[in-house]
Structure 1
């Protein structure tokens, strides 16, 4: 893992950051995500910024593409959605879609239907599935029996097929507080399903998986990436139960790339060396208490873009 403080974090006022950030986007296919501005689907997560500010700041940070964010953040009307993205000069790369996959009396295709139509309308290429628990938030999760696991992996392949029929790619996002959190959970999916993965460097680390090791082990199964850096000390408190996931996020568990304990540069290098041509989505989950004064969350996004520029130049 990378040690903290090895790289100076450039700031929004540094000369040339917009121009060179745009060059990096073209080279590495970098996108943003509204969660870096505190926009989240979890009720009570924190103050939710307006889309206009988030998308304007995203574009100003040198990013040319975004994930959609939670349902309701951007318009559900497909014509309105396309208009908003065009006005902000942003492409859509995909969206995070939590689905309940393990319940016998629930069809996860129903969870997928609305978001899939929005993603198709927005011109996205990727549907980022998460194996939701059916409860709100990410602070606890049930233990499944073998029959429930078999249903889950079968549903993953079924949903991937539905998505493929519409011309998009479905990937599974291992995520803290979902059914697929730990390395054992990830291995169940890898062995029981053919779905490809979203490599989320933060959620994997918090769930007990070394994301660099996973990238080396199964590069052919990784089709989409969420780049996060993590304060490992706070992650350890989540693993021990001393803090909930939400409490740790509020305490600053996610940090600008290059300032935490994830070897982000190594992961990007391994994936690119293995022919990865998918999207790197910048994500630093944050919780806001209110309307930010000054720069706010975009400061960390700009720093992360600049870090990636430095380590891949």
Structure 2
């Protein structure tokens, strides 16, 4: 199905320690995270908040476990701060990932984001940009994308719950108003389903621009509660809205089929932020690995 020379299976460290809520998984060390990721059968991870900030040191830890760094999250504030501030931070981030051998840079606009606000309803509290803000965002992302290209890297934009690019309509507008050579798309199954979008339709439409994939499953009963009780994104995570592939409601076979048919190359990253005291990260990592192995030749 996939060419193993060009497609790699990884897992995000957020299952072990949550970046937005550090109390979730505070007991889990960086070394435990990467060791268990390797034992579960994954080839790499993204970068978590407990990872060493020195590229050489981090690379050493990863190589000992035959792991690689796939990418790392970057928060842009193009709509709320001067462009120069985001650019300066982006270049530092780009160079760090370049030294680690990563090929893509995950970017999500955090200007006006409510994803990190504990008491803001994730649906009712979401910000909607005006035309001027859209122009600032798309122009800024293209500039960042060209900076990534200087290192032969790609900017992959992460649509995300609670941010200014969450819905299919917003993804469409972002894609239509950015240069494909500068801005690619990160495809996240969980965020699309949580938002109520047609995840397969988005995948089919933008398969050619998708350069990074997050495999996240969803528990519909929790999502329904979040909507009914007007809860926040962080509250949704604590309640277990997300889980690993094979443990929720999403059928991933069509996802893999469409990606394969469109000759996808890059990382497939299992990502499921939940409370590790309730959902043991190693147990769930193995569950995801076995589920994926049953579907694709990896």
TM-score, normalised to structure 2's length? 0.87
For residue 76 of structure 2, what is the aligned residue in structure 1?
A: 99
Query: Aligned pair count?
Result: 284
Give the superposition deviation at 1:241. 5.3
TM-score by length of 1: 0.83
Q: CA deviation at 1:26?
A: 6.6
Tell me the equivalent position of 1:20.
none
Matched, 1:60 2:39: yes
Residue matched to 2:291: 307
SS of the equivalent of 2:295 reads helix
Unaligned runs of 5+ in 1: 1-22
Separation of aligned partners in 1, 2:288 and 2:6: 15
SS at match of 2:75: strand
1:250 matches 2:235? no
Alignment CA distance shift 1:226-1:177 (3 Å): same
Decide whether aligned partners of structure 1 residues 196 and 45 sit closer, same or farther in structure 2, where only a CA change above 3 A counts.
farther
Rate the CA distance shift 1:311–1:78 in 2: closer, same or farther, 3 A.
closer
Equivalent of 1:82, from 59, 68, 76?
A: 59
For 1:103 and 1:263, locate their aligned partners in 2 and report how far apart those are by CA, in whole Å: 38
Alignment partner of 1:212 is 2:200:
yes
1:311 match: secondary structure:
coil
Asked if the contact 2:106–2:155 (Cα under 8 Å) also holds between the matched residues in 1, the reply is yes
Deviation at 1:248, TM superposition (A): 1.7
Q: Which residue matches 1:201?
A: 189
In the TM superposition, what is the alpha-carbon distance from 1:105 to its structure 2 partner?
2.9
Aligned to 1:189: 174
Report the Cα offset of residue 250 of structure 1: 1.4
Report the counterpart of residue 14 of structure 1 in structure 2: none
Which of 48, 53, 61 matches 1:69? 48
Q: Secondary structure at the match of 2:266?
A: coil
Q: CA deviation at 1:69?
A: 2.1
SS of the residue 1:109 aligns to = helix
SS of residue matched to 1:203 = helix
The residue that corresponds to 1:8 in the other structure is none
Counterpart for residue 166 of structure 1 = 151
How far has the Cα of 1:106 moved from its partner? Answer: 4.3
State yes or no: 1:260 paired with 2:244.
Answer: no
Using the TM superposition, give the Cα deviation of residue 45 of structure 1 relative to its aligned residue in structure 2, in angstroms.
5.3
Task: For residue 312 of structure 1, give the secondary structure of its aligned residue in structure 2.
Answer: coil
In the TM superposition, residue 235 of structure 1 has moved relative to its aligned partner by 2.2
Change (3 A) 1:242 1:141: closer
1:143 equivalent in alignment to 2:120: no
1:44, distance to aligned residue in structure 2 (A): 4.7
